[in-house]
Amino acid sequence: NSIWVSTDHDEIEKVAKQFGAQVHRRSPEVSQDSSTSLEAITEFLNHHQEVDIVGNIQATSPCLHPSDLIKVADLIQKEGFDSVFSVVRRHQFRWSEVKKGENKMTEPQNLNPAKRYRRQDWPGELYENGSFYFAKRHLIEKGYLQGGKMAYYEMRAEHSVDIDIDIDWPIAEQRVLSFGYFGKEPLKEVKLLVCSIDGCLTNGRIYVTEDHKEMVSYDYRDIVGIDLLKKRGIQVRLISDRDCSKTLSAMQLSCVAKVSVTNKLQVLKDWQEDMGLSWKEVAYLGNEESDVECLKQAGMSAVPADACAAAQKAAGYICKSRGGCGAVREFAEHIFLLLEKVNSARKQ
């Protein structure tokens, strides 16, 4: 019936409310590094007597789809289960651990080595994947999320992503692009990428010679990225707060550019309307406060790793590369992954 974010952080509360969630201010007692989800949920229920079913959705599982949650809610509300949790099927052979210094052999846990079968011929085993836990109030008040009349919900393997350590991030990013939920509105192909010049295409530094000539540096990988975008039928246009027309002429990019811009959002709107595009078809790469409104408006948005804090908060994607050091190429590859998602959806 309602979506809540439990937090003790002002900024998280602000963002949650911007997206329509209600906020429960978590007490210091259940906001420690050692605090459990169950403790936070129990505290929430103490303040909300009207709630009788809780669906605890883990933020570390970004590929969860609404259709899964609807089916799980039905298991509790219509089929009478007290608790439902998510699992995924894995085809992995397990062996007993032998600790260093122990004088014993490992033993098979779920296979017979003498009759070893192919994993694809084996039904596998079910493992909790931590994506969600649904439970009725009376169970939580007893101190657990799983109990009573229990059921598991098997998620598709491609939707089962659990971010625990740093190396899980790139895997999750690829999975979200390929299998993530993008809302009810159909995906659109990106037709236009607008890139801020200083700090994105270049590193933002300006070198001045003794005879008062300006020099900037750029990364050739970004030029290749722009060429790849053009080959995919995506227009690339450039925008800048300052007059850098000589720099653009020297780079020979053959892109439409607008310099000495005082209102980037207005220029972006003019381009979008002139090309007859929806905002879903527009991508924007910026790095400064003057780019924030454009980043919010574009269907896809990104910033280099060294963008200002305001731009990072407004962007949908933060590049690993810094401005002038491959950020344009990285965002181009991010767009290509989205296009693969669009094409895959059309085939289905």
pLDDT > 70? residue 294: yes
Q: For residue 68, is it left (φ>0), alpha (ψ between -120 and 50) or beta? A: alpha
Q: What average pLDDT does range 14-39 have in this prediction?
A: 91
93-113, pLDDT tens digit by residue? 999 999 988 989 999 999 889
Residue 347: the pLDDT is: 62
Question: Mean pLDDT throughout 306-333?
Answer: 91
pLDDT tens profile 160-184: 988 989 889 888 887 887 788 877 6
Average pLDDT in the 144-165 region? 93
pLDDT greater at residue 257 or residue 208: 257
Reply yes or no on whether the pLDDT at 187 is more than 70: no
3-state secondary structure string, the chain?
CCCEEEECCHHHHHHHHHCCCEEEECCHHHCCCCCCHHHHHHHHHHHCCCCCEEEEECCCCCCCCHHHHHHHHHHHHCCCCCEEEEEEEECCCCECCCCCCCCCCCCECCCCHHHCCCHHHCCCEEEEEEEEEEEEHHHHHHCCCCCCCEEEEECCHHHCCCCCCCCHHHHHHHHHHHHCCCCCCCCCCCCEEEEEHHHHHECCCCEECCCCCEECCECHHHHHHHHHHHHCCCEEEEECCCCCHHHHHHHCCCCEEECCCCCHHHHHHHHHHHCCCCHHHEEEECCCHHHHHHHHHCCEEEECCCCCHHHHHHCCEECCCCCCCCHHHHHHHHHHHHHHHHHHHHHC
Please report, for the chain, the start and end positions of each structural domain, with discontinuous segments joined by +. Answer: 52-91+122-164, 192-346
CA–CA separation, 304 and 326 (whole Å): 9
Mean pLDDT taken over the chain = 89
Confidence of residue 137 (pLDDT cuts 50, 70, 90): very high
Instruction: State the average pLDDT over residues 38-66.
Output: 92
Residue 345 has pLDDT above 80, yes or no: no
Q: To which CATH superfamily is domain 192-346 assigned? A: HAD superfamily/HAD-like (3.40.50.1000)
Residue 311 CB partners (closer than 8 Å, separation 6+): 286, 287, 288, 289, 291, 292, 295, 303
**Domain 52-91+122-164 -> CATH class:** alpha beta
Q: Among all residues, which ones are annotated catalytic?
A: 116
pLDDT grade for 196, boundaries at 50, 70 and 90: very high
For residue 250, pLDDT beyond 70:
no
pLDDT tier for residue 59 given thresholds of 50, 70 and 90: confident
The whole-model pTM stands at 0.67
Question: What local confidence, expressed as pLDDT, does residue 95 receive?
Answer: 93
Q: What is the pLDDT of residue 185?
A: 64
